[in-house]
Amino acid sequence: MNKIHHIGVILDGNRRFAKRLMKAPWKGHEWGGEKVKEFLGWCKEADIRTTTVYSFSVQNFSRPKVEF
């Protein structure tokens, strides 16, 4: 079996997730942060030593400050 050495993820949809639950946008980001911790735990268990997590694009700078 081939060993995975590197895995990457693109985080997307936290605001939409929060909106669907009728929560503040930052609650979606909070939930997403917990999922990243879970993901990194899985990577550690699988002995994947390199991860790339893309979590912020320049378009996000135009969002209201309350979301940061």
Which residues does the annotation mark as catalytic?
12, 60
Which two tokens mark 8?
């990457």
- Taking alpha carbons only, the member of 21, 22, 32, 39 closest to residue 55 is 32
9 close to 39: Cβ distance less than 8 angstroms: yes
